[in-house]
Structure 1
Amino acid sequence: MTSAWKRILLITTSWEEVSLSSMGIDKNLDIKCNDSNHYPLGLAYIHSYLESQGHRVTSLFLNNHPYAICLSRLIDTITVFKPEVIGLQILTPNRVSSFQTIEYLHIHYPDIKIVIGGIHTTVMYDQILKKYPYVIAVLGEGEITFAELMNSFALNGIPLGNTRGIAYSKDGIVVRTVDREPIENLDVLPFPKHEAFFTEERESACIITSRGCPNNCSFCCLNPLTKRRVRARSIKNVIAEIEWLIKKFPQLKSIWIHDDSFFLNPGRVIEFCDEIISRNINLKFTCSGRCKPITREMVIKLDQANFTQVLFGLESADENILKKCHKGITRDDVIKAFNLFKGTKIELTAFLIVGLPGETEETVKSTAKFVQKLQRIKYIYYTNLAALAVYPGTELYEISKADGILSDPYWLTDQTTPLFTVEHSQVELFQFKEIMLDYLCCDRLFKRNGFFKQFFMIPYIYWFKLHHFWIPRLKGEKV
């Protein structure tokens, strides 16, 4: 490949400093500079694909750093690397710092081409391009589109409009080209550039074995990116990546599987586990999944393959709320799933959200009491839970717009990602969180409200603490 554009810097900038979703009545959320956090696989895939096409690429993962540090690192990298193109991953929680970065680059480095992508870009490209007409937006999955865009930059004879899956401004008008379909055969992509995000201290890697989710939850913004289409890598390809990781990073101890629908095909999960077992791969695995479909055989295989944690998205235990948000599960499904995992070494998490449409103080208490039933089957350790945030591209955002609470210009302000306040105020949502945590957070057991609401949970709390905290500490293990 011959191209005039060979030096590309990819960056994901600072998260917003305050997350309303994670806050409580008297609590704030401070940024923690922790580079051992999960790294951006989307950026890692684009990095490796661009390299495979002959470009020189550097990536900066700065979500967990205050913006002053983020900007300083960016300037230092530009000075040394001298990129001709900078690509920014824009998600709703880092949109403010992304916009600040775009403005800074345009003023101080006007010759550098700016490309933006990510879910927020895909949904809100029109307003972004109207404010920043000098950037180009990559919509949807970015590997092939970004690489083709580099050719458009390099060869004067190729107009931007010939590149599928982008949007740009021309003569004051936003132009969107023909959509690019999601990549069907994921095996054709090179492995993501893990080494761009690894240090000698990092002991955990991130992978995805599939892309997309067939569901349509009212609060989820994934659909504009993957169009509810699930595409899976071959298990052979996934295992090859894991074995490469083991050879490349001898310190590796665990892998997080970040699929949106890992449990969609139990037979495929079993095939994956069989390969892990037969090859004696001695790593710990964590994944997220839905409460159905799950089979007992699949759970046994997960246990044998050393899956140590499975994270379920429960959100609520009120049947009406589950229907309204199109969750596609019932209380019975959740009970069945937890019973299937009973007796295994696998820890379970059930994510909860307060404030979904239809939420009341009674539904909050009902959900909390239901989760206590789950804790009696297999204890779930809670320190916090989420208040419902609103993202562009979701059904909840359309409800908020129709009610007059939010509008598109909000996303160009420096305000934090908002909560869903159509039915309840922010303070009421925080109060709902406090009620639920009094029922479920064992660290509140010795507080007045927590003691009375968790008194009958003491044997289960004791057993969990004994086996997950006290005994491991006596053995000198990390907790």
Structure 2
Amino acid sequence: MKVLLISLPDPPGIHVFRFHAAGFGSSFVMPNPEHKYEVYPPIYEAYVASILENEGHEVRILDCQSPNIEVEEILKEIEKKNPSLIISRICLPSYYHDLKIMAKIKELFPDIVLIGWGGICKVFPENVLRESQLDIVFRAVELEDILPEFIRAYEKDKIENVLGISLKKNGEISHTANRPFNKNLDAIPVPAYHLLNMKKYVTQESHYIFGGSKEKFIPFFSVSGSRGCSFNCIYCPYPVTYGPWRGRSPEKVVDEIEVLVRKYNIRTIWFHDQTFSMIPKRTIQLCDEIIERRLDIHWATETRIDTLKPKVLKKMKESGCGRLEVGVETGDPILLKTVGKRGLTIEKIVKTAKAIKKERIILETNFLVGLPGETWDSIKTSAELIKKINPDILTAMIVTPYPGSPLYTMAEKNGWLLTKDWSKYTLFEPVFSMPNFTADDMREAHHYLYLQYAINKQKKELLDALFNLNFLALSKILFSNVPKFLRKLPRIIRNKFR
């Protein structure tokens, strides 16, 4: 059977990170379309393509994000390949654009079966089917588990036996029973790299190498070493989409990395894990495997900060870890305990942040604005914590109540939701408002955290320039940054006295 896996193009002027937020996606407005942006490879599609090829199917992956491919080109490719099935991830920020493209495909190729998958398809399958020209949606995101079984059933006209699908037939929508999460991740083969242009996935060197250049872009690729998260924070979409934590064996993970290094000369790896260091012993084993095979890679990942013990950090650094992305969420200990990171304390955060920086690993911290119970006092406490731990990269996001999460249920029950226009669910635009902390407060607080971070960074740069008598750096700070600071001074004063 001919199968086409499409990673759909971005909406005009928007860049969508399709893998972010457990596949619900995040996005930002592109200020300069000519600028080079980091595009992550469609790793789930590459995994399942490998299985399908081994089962004798003719598979094609069309990655329309790198660079952005116009709809007309997609239609030409479909006409040329004439697939029986087309499978595409549907994301929130690009929701209406994704469905519009799929509708155009159905209009011109009515006999092709169109399948959608992703977080929104899992949570609201009926809505997606009614609002689209899709024939089927998968209520499971692990393509390597559900798609091969679906195709085998489709060929026998028995798709009603496949768990985790919802289908539309003659205007009627039906659902099969829910599908359990894939427990045998070691059965996942090496991805079908040959179906992708491996040279076009590039990232900034400074994101993976301590002291690396922001101007230099280097080849990279994603590897999925584990899936899921077992902590169940109320705002987090990871448990919704990926379920509890499950890991692949270190040997299998490093086998995949070795192919990237030896065959494609790719030595920069993004571990597409939600809680990379969930099991410290396994983390050390994985790092040892990388070291023993002398792969000489640079890698980065996301994990929970209180799983990072000094012994684990040292081993991670030795194996090539260049950046760690950790969720701190808030500097307020009450919020941290009640709705943020249960079991995590400010003391643990500060101690582990120091340990990460001591190993010369780039520290990227995620903070959230707008958690239930948020106030301007808690925002200022977050700003103080940011100043104290001094991350190399700060990512501040506005809390987004993702469908299926406890926060979404809470927001809907309390009448906090402002919109169900999914294109606004970007992580950087408020979609709900609370009586004691409104959407306007969220916007202002989001800006405030970045502004305070920038001011603290500039102070440090100024002191370093003075201490080292670096007059070139000093003149740049004074003549470039001071005018910007003065323009923002009224806003700084206003927030200072809230």
Shorter chain as denominator, the TM-score bin is 0.7 to 0.9
**TM-fit CA distance, 1:73:** 3.0
Partner residue in 2 for 1:317: 331
Q: Return 5+ residue gaps in structure 1 as ranges.
A: 446-454, 471-479
Match of 2:228 among 212, 218, 233: 212
Partner residue in 1 for 2:131: 131
Q: How does 1:61-460 map to 2 (within 5 A)?
A: 61-63=63-65, 69-132=69-132, 135-140=135-140, 141-155=142-156, 158-200=157-199, 202=201, 203-227=219-243, 229-250=244-265, 252-328=266-342, 329-375=344-390, 379-382=391-394, 385-406=396-417, 410-411=421-422, 417=426, 419-423=430-434, 424-441=437-454, 445=458, 455=459, 458-459=462-463
- Sort the Cα spacing of 1:182 and 1:101 in 2 relative to 1 into closer, same or farther, 3 A: same
**TM-fit CA distance, 1:253:** 2.8
Alpha carbons 2:433, 2:439 under 8 Å: kept: no
Letter in 1 for 2:444: Q
Sequence identity (%): 24
Instruction: For 1:463 and 1:167, locate their aligned partners in 2 and report how far apart those are by CA, in whole Å.
Output: 65
Alpha carbons 1:35, 1:64 under 8 Å: kept: no
C-alpha deviations, 1:365-411, integer Å up to 9, x for none?
11111111112xxx4234x5222223211222223322335489644
- Comparing 345-354 and 326-335, the one that deviates more: 326-335
- Comparing 30-39 and 104-113, the one that deviates more: 30-39
Q: Return 5+ residue gaps in structure 2 as ranges.
A: 17-25, 202-218, 475-498
- Sort the Cα spacing of 1:173 and 1:111 in 2 relative to 1 into closer, same or farther, 3 A: closer
Instruction: For 2:79 and 2:456, locate their aligned partners in 1 and report how far apart those are by CA, in whole Å.
Output: 48
Instruction: For 2:70 and 2:370, locate their aligned partners in 1 and report how far apart those are by CA, in whole Å.
Output: 33
Letter in 1 for 2:446: K
- Sort the Cα spacing of 1:235 and 1:38 in 2 relative to 1 into closer, same or farther, 3 A: same
C-alpha deviations, 1:118-141, integer Å up to 9, x for none?
111111101112334751111112
Alpha carbons 2:103, 2:134 under 8 Å: kept: no
**TM-fit CA distance, 1:440:** 0.9
Letter in 2 for 1:311: E
C-alpha deviations, 1:405-444, integer Å up to 9, x for none?
5489644xx6564624322444322211222122212597
Instruction: For 1:15 and 1:462, locate their aligned partners in 2 and report how far apart those are by CA, in whole Å.
Output: 46
**TM-fit CA distance, 1:180:** 2.1
Instruction: For 2:414 and 2:148, locate their aligned partners in 1 and report how far apart those are by CA, in whole Å.
Output: 41
Provide the secondary structure at the position in 1 that maps to 2:97: helix
Letter in 1 for 2:226: S
Provide the secondary structure at the position in 2 that maps to 1:264: coil
- Report which structure shows greater RCO (CA 8 Å, sep ≥6): 1
Provide the secondary structure at the position in 1 that maps to 2:306: coil
Alpha carbons 1:13, 1:62 under 8 Å: kept: yes
**TM-fit CA distance, 1:204:** 0.7
Instruction: For 2:125 and 2:9, locate their aligned partners in 1 and report how far apart those are by CA, in whole Å.
Output: 18
TM-score where L is the length of structure 1 = 0.83
Q: How many residues align?
A: 439
- Sort the Cα spacing of 1:100 and 1:460 in 2 relative to 1 into closer, same or farther, 3 A: farther
**TM-fit CA distance, 1:321:** 1.8
TM-align CA RMSD: 3.1
TM-score where L is the length of structure 2 = 0.80
Instruction: For 1:6 and 1:183, locate their aligned partners in 2 and report how far apart those are by CA, in whole Å.
Output: 25
Instruction: For 1:16 and 1:337, locate their aligned partners in 2 and report how far apart those are by CA, in whole Å.
Output: 41
Provide the secondary structure at the position in 2 that maps to 1:327: coil
Alpha carbons 2:138, 2:165 under 8 Å: kept: yes
Letter in 1 for 2:364: T
Provide the secondary structure at the position in 1 that maps to 2:358: coil
C-alpha deviations, 1:225-248, integer Å up to 9, x for none?
233x22111111111111111122
Provide the secondary structure at the position in 1 that maps to 2:93: helix
Letter in 2 for 1:380: D
Instruction: For 1:14 and 1:427, locate their aligned partners in 2 and report how far apart those are by CA, in whole Å.
Output: 28
Q: Aligned pair 1:39/2:50, yes or no?
A: no
Provide the secondary structure at the position in 2 that maps to 1:83: coil
Match of 1:52 among 48, 54, 57: 54
Alpha carbons 1:14, 1:65 under 8 Å: kept: no
